[in-house]
Structure 1
Amino acid sequence: MAAQSVVMSALDVLVAGGGIGGVASALAAARAGCAVRLYERAPMFSEVGAGIQLGPNATRILQAWGLGDALHAVAAFPERLRVRNASSGGTLGVLPLGKHMQARYGAPYATIHRADIHGLLVRALAQQADVHVNLDQALAGFSDDGRAVTVTVGHNNNTRVEGDVLIGADGLWSSVRQQLLADGPPRMTGYLAYRAMLRQSALPERLRSTEVTAWLGRRLHVIQYPVRCGEWMNVVVIMQGASPEDAQSWDQGAHAEDLQRVMGNTCAPLRELISAAPDASVNEYAWRLWALADRAPVEQAEQMARGLVVLLGDAAHPMRPFLAQGAGMAIEDAAGLAHALTMDAVDVPTRLRRYALARWQRCARVQSRSIRNGQIFHSTGLVRLGRDMSIKFLGARLLDVPWLYSHSGGAPR
């Protein structure tokens, strides 16, 4: 049974962005008793994207929101993470997931299609009172006079809406962030990600898997894991390379031949997995491509909250995917912000500042660790040999991340 919403003085909360972070923050704010209006520039919610991983730090929050059963209906719950050498195919180390994660952290480790977690949150949001979702409504700007925040939305920028709080959850290229901080565009990282979704029943038995597998190579790595209750496999190849012309798009077509050339020095099982995606005769762009961008780690609370405006998720702390925590941090942000909004004893700007104070250092740590992981994953020479020896020797002690998975995101456990 879902936990009961917190009773508090109602705030009018405006949310810019209808992705995972935006919907999660709208849901958390609604559960905290706020009136919520969400504005999303796309005309409809769609199944753009591929798989994501959710550690116990994120699934614990979903359970607290009463969404545990809904998560189990659409996600996969791998029994282990296996790290393999991309050249030899040999196992370097194993981290138990499944029952181990549940027992140690009180919540599962899940792998899920991005559209499924988004849909789960959208359905939960629809069940909340006093929530209005406005699609095909881009936010053009805002003003904050200290008493209220007013946003301008609509195709002709002719609709003005007033609220007590504005949540900028409009992603990596956030317009709310640009008006609030004026710190320029994100930086390109020099990494490219190729991703594909493979139906497991169409794969040879030897390629099917219920595990998370990380293949570490020279200047590249591959992640595979089951989604949609194990019926599909998500495969992501991350390598170093020049960004495409449309750097803002994360859903561009990619030719399989380009990818297969790069995989030439990897082991046969990995090359076979990569070749299992539909070839060009079936689907010219079975592989999708996006250029990875991020920002430097957050340096102070003022980068996440100023006045009546707050940033959340990728708008606040976009990160590289090498710790698999982009969605997790957005869900943590949502829980932490909702907790701050219930602090009726202080004014709204102070509540938002307390959210930022509770979140910025943790988010910066995750960003920094993600950058370092990318360097380790793609290392060469002696560093690569040292990496492999460390994983073999330390195994689960190195692969587990207690400081990350045991945290509650700034909200009470």
Structure 2
Amino acid sequence: MSTNTNLQARHAAAVPRGVGITHPVYAARAENAELWDEEGRRYVDFAGGIAVLNTGHRHPKVIAAVEAQLARFTHTCFQVTPYESYIALAERLNSIAPIEGPSKTIFLTTGAEALENAVKIARAATGRPGIITFAGGYHGRTLLTMAMTGKVLPYKRHFAPMPAEIYHAPFPFEPFGVTVADSLRAIDMLFRADIEPSRVAAILIEPVQGEGGFIPAPTALLVALRQLCDKHGILLIADEVQTGFGRTGKMFGIEHSGVKPDMITIAKSLAGGFPLSGVIGRATVMDAPEPGGLGGTYAGNPLACVAALAVLDVIESEKLVERANVIGATITSRLHRIAARNDVVPITAIRGPGAMIAFDIVKDRGGYVPDADQTRAVLARAREHGLILLSCGVNANAIRLLVPLTVSDAILEEGLSVLEVALAA
């Protein structure tokens, strides 16, 4: 019989240490918001495969769609012999994306691949090389997306040199003392000191930073970026890899601001656990690369495409966008009650739209000195009591909650109760 201990030993011997593990418990099966390890122990899942499982583990409608596709074919390569599910999914996303005018969509495999292709498209459409992103932002682990990611550890160390023409501006967050005005001044300084606006292809931003700490981009910043892009002929790209498909209480996180980007990158919860990503964009922008310039052998795999169509059906029929707001209100209310206690680890900066909620663990109540060690200890205590949690943030002191939007009220309450126990001082 496999155990967590012997699997961990086999992992150490067979898998590079660069593939880190947050929780050394090995999954055997899962359903909706619950997971069982190889030893039969049950966990409430507040990680959701890092925001991949908005529709939960093994949603019946997603599984049925994939099983039906398995009986037909599993792969042809869309660029060789295409298939309808790819087109149907593109049509559906084009119809709901918050983009001005006609849209087109390309499908890929990973979030990083979507970001790389968004940059390719932006450069082809503008004839410009420069990309501006934000400190704390996370866009992937490939060489280009690693350069765009605004966090050195653990993503960039030992991997230099980074690709050229990538620039970072500070991201506004009150506990860090950074305002919207500071961010905009920094971009103006980039234009003065490093790259003129006429050489910038795109400004790329997460509507809510993911790995950076679940920090929402202020509406004032997004509005100003849209105006800046319009003024200088720069494309605005919303990285919705983690915020998309109902997580924030809107189908796309950017919708909270009313700002319409030129392109949106998508992945994670798009296909309910099957590998699929994409770029949705203004049709004139998306058509800039010539035939053969975009694609990939596994890009838009038919199993993943039918899974994604089922995911969109589930989001609509089960009203998961609205459910995200209910879940978020429940979580936030509970966290504020916990924060008011004197016998728990000090927590602060409870934040996030919809069900994309995070809070920070600090050393002293009423202050803001990050406590990464205590954050790791809370994750471990939660796991021991049957709850899977994730941390994030530039100081590694944020706890993020990514429970499936299909979670029952009872399981949500169970998970929050375990979280409260794990935060006990």
TM-score by length of 1: 0.23
Which has the larger share of strand?
1
